[in-house]
Amino acid sequence: MSEENRSQKSNPLLNSTLMQVERAAARMGLDPGMLKLLQEPKRCLTVSIPIRRDNGTLDIFQGFRVQHNVARGPAKGGIRFHQDATLEEVIALSALMTWKCAVVNIPYGGAKGAIVCNPKELSLAELERLTRRYTMEISLIIGPEKDIPAPDVNTNPQVMAWIMDTYSMQLGYSVPAVVTGKPIELGGSLGRNEATGRGCVYTIEEAAARTGLDLKQATVAVQGFGNAGSVAATYLEDLGCRVIAVSDSRGGILNENGLNLTAVKEFKTRTGTVAGYPEATPLTQEELLSLACDILVPAALENQITAANAGDIRAKIIAEAANGPISADADETLYEKGILVIPDILANAGGVVVSYFEWVQGIQHFFWSQDEVNNQLRQRMVSSFRDVYELAGREHVSLRTAAYMIALERVEKAVSLRGIFV
């Protein structure tokens, strides 16, 4: 993508992703033509989704499905329901999936999908109708050998079950491998719901071992106490860390002596938020990010740490459980400050790794135990971290640049071997 085209893009995540790719490509000496090919999405589908609301009125929603690159295998990526979703954001997220799958060396390309809606304003019946109609609209490009969706922001196993059922109805038989993140009863994998948070902690363990950080003495702050963030916080607590702060979309809480995460989770289940938890001091999202702590886990939305606040960050290790929480400009600042950032395409890859395991199990109709899933996940995350860490040391670059270099090399090799059909 040219500078002129990129300057016309308004999405910060897309701009940041393109910049990170260009930095790695420059370091590698990647052919400019190949760089252009690897930056452009292969296919962008925009669909209109008409549904009948519960009150009988007709409403129209917009949906997207983007396939970024499929040189290494079928496209893979989640579907999010969010009122602020845009095509540019989905393009960026699909590209991140390409690099994420490549850096952990699983045979997928990258994809992403979204419906522009606020699911909190829809009933369960409306969400089902919306999901099923969206599935019908994108069914021409998804499939177990073409493009395999998964849960993302505001979607869950139930949404995946609706997608699987709708797709299967068209073929006349069950196709469990068309999605991952399904309920266990429909062919989902044990360990899938915890995979992103668990995989993130595996990379934190490796980073701590290499930097001499004693996890039993470490303090942790987690921005975004949803699925990935709460799981990561819980596993870090199990390792002996003191989780001093967590937050969600409504606010944050701080207890320097350590939060009781079981009580915090019970409070959030009861009230819908961690804000207001009685045994803690309230704080904002911005205040949480700048806390003095050993480990910071951004597990919310993208673009949370920017050039404006990067100088305030005091963590020693940052593990990106969210996609794109740090802007490209901020990334340089953090690297110069000596903060070790485990990039999103590595830190949060546990979800897609276990999605791959689920897909394999679905195709084979042979299912693994939870221990098998977790052991395979640990092996994949640890070996991938070591590859990235060792390359960063040899090349004297950040972990992010090293991760992108590995990912770009693998995708470029697949493209080159397949050839350019003209």
CB atoms within 10 A of CB 172: 7
Please state, as a whole number, how many other Cβ atoms lie within 10 Å of the Cβ of residue 35. Answer: 19
- Of 76, 100, 112, 316, which one is the catalytic site residue? 112
**CA geometry: angle 141, 144, 146, nearest 5 deg:** 40
User: How many Cβ atoms are within 10 Å of 67's Cβ, its own excluded?
Assistant: 26
End-to-end CA, the chain:
20
Rounded Cα distance between 47 and 147, Å, is 17
Q: Which residue has the tokens 């308004």?
A: 10
**CB count in 10 Å sphere of residue 235:** 18
Burial 248-259 (b: 16+ CB within 10 A, else e): beebbbbbeeeb
Query: In this structure, which amino acid lies at residue 135?
Result: T
Whole-number Å distance between alpha carbons of 264 and 266: 5
- In this structure, are strands 242-248 and 219-223 parallel, antiparallel, or unpaired? parallel
Asked whether 41 and 66 are in contact (CB, 8 A), the reply is yes
Location of structure tokens 């001499």: 212
Determine the Cα–Cα distance for residues 103 and 307; give it in Å rounded to an integer: 26
Catalytic site includes residue 146:
no
Quick check: 343 and 16 in contact, CB under 8 A? no
Q: Please classify residue 4 by burial: count the beta carbons closer than 10 Å to its beta carbon, then call 0-12 exposed, 13-18 middle and 19+ buried.
A: exposed
Contacts of 163 (CB under 8 A, 6+ apart): 79, 131, 132, 135, 149, 178, 179
**Residue 319 bridge partners (DSSP):** 342
Please identify every residue annotated as catalytic: 112
